[in-house]
Amino acid sequence: MRKSNFLSDRNLNITIIIISLLLMIYSCYRAAILSFTIDESISYNLFVPLKFMDIISYAIPSSNNHILNTLGMKYFSLLFGPSEFVLRLPSMLSHLAYLIFTYRILKKTASPIILLAGFLLLNLNPYLLDFFSLARGYAMAVTFVVVSIYYLLSYIEYNKTKTIIWSLIFAMLAVLSNFSLLIYFVSFVAIINIYWVWSQPHFSLNDLIRRNTPVFIGFLFLGAILFEPIRKLIDYNELYDGGLNSFWSDTVGSLINASLYDRAYPPAISIFANCLIAIFTIIMVLTIIFKAYFIKTKIFTERFTIVVLLLILPCFVSIFQHYLLKSNFLINRMALFFIPLFFISVIFYISDYVKTNKWKIIFS
């Protein structure tokens, strides 16, 4: 059992449960009292009445159709009758899973204090919280990303094949919740292959191909489902949302502004947030580079490196996609998954520092 001068395991668990209950009450209350937004109404009126295959195949070509959320709205309303609360149940259930799996991820950190602080960081972003009480696919997508990270970290810890398969499944479910998560899925596949190569004493191409069998199946499955919807979205010019300036100003900047609710705060607050994100990201990347090239450790098999790569690679995929395919940069709600990716990376970095008691993570 882990001990702390400030928090016993029992008190920590009670604190986490209380915070989680309050957050779930908040989401449920909002889901019950808020009127439907325009996007929610479009989803309900246009897509929920469709047959299963028509929803999957985008019989009505619109980026407003988030497949898993639409199916959830459809079948929950058939079971319990249509109401704002019932139609938002998929997102509320996602919130419950998000709370559980952020806690389970943070249980892998160095101390109860870091666990509690990390739990607050991951669960108190006001912009992210909003989507757990809306009938949209964004909350589900973020939750599936977090669940996939948990199983990936468990795979690194215990090396059980079933955990990497579960991780892959949840990464795929994130894509089916919102297509913008394709950049996460591609990055995820690249990272697990980097891990496999670095964790083997002697690299074997046949072994790598064998390990990628579930990945190939996953790609075929996603390709079969996504080909027609994405083709239609392109043909009907439905992929219009996003930014055209840069990843930093569009994706990072929009998330900062959205988290501040576009209020007229002093510009210094936004500048401070930008600088803080940039500094932490640079420090984490430099740490990986330093340990990889100067200390010669197996850095790409460590949990800290994996979670940082899960943050960094989607950024590069987004930038590459923009210049190669002329796609827009993700903004606001489409980029929500970067919020837990960033905070999980920072938390694991701090956790590693606490374990060493000094800045040995950089200068060891």
For 54, residues 6+ apart whose C-beta sits below 8 A from its C-beta are 60
Backbone angles phi, psi at 243, to 5 degrees: -110, 160
Average pLDDT, the chain: 90
Q: Comparing 111 with 25, which gets the higher pLDDT?
A: 25
For 17, residues 6+ apart whose C-beta sits below 8 A from its C-beta are none
Task: Kindly report, residue by residue over 266-297, the tens digit of the pLDDT.
Answer: 888 889 999 999 999 999 999 888 877 776 56
State mean pLDDT over 181-189. 96
pLDDT > 70? residue 363: no
Count Cβ neighbours within 10 Å for each residue of 128-165 and write b for 16 or more, e otherwise. Answer: bbbbbbbbbbbbbbbbbbbbbbbbbbbbbeeeeeebbb
pLDDT at 262: 67
State mean pLDDT over 135-156. 96
Q: Dihedral sign for Cα 88, 89, 94, 96, please.
A: positive
pLDDT > 90? residue 264: no
State mean pLDDT over 140-162. 95
pTM of the full predicted structure?
0.93
Task: Kindly report, residue by residue over 103-119, the tens digit of the pLDDT.
Answer: 999 998 878 899 999 99
pLDDT at 222: 95
Residue 96 burial class via C-beta count within 10 angstroms: exposed 0-12, middle 13-18, buried 19 and up: middle
Query: Lowest-confidence range among 58-67, 118-127, 253-262?
Result: 253-262
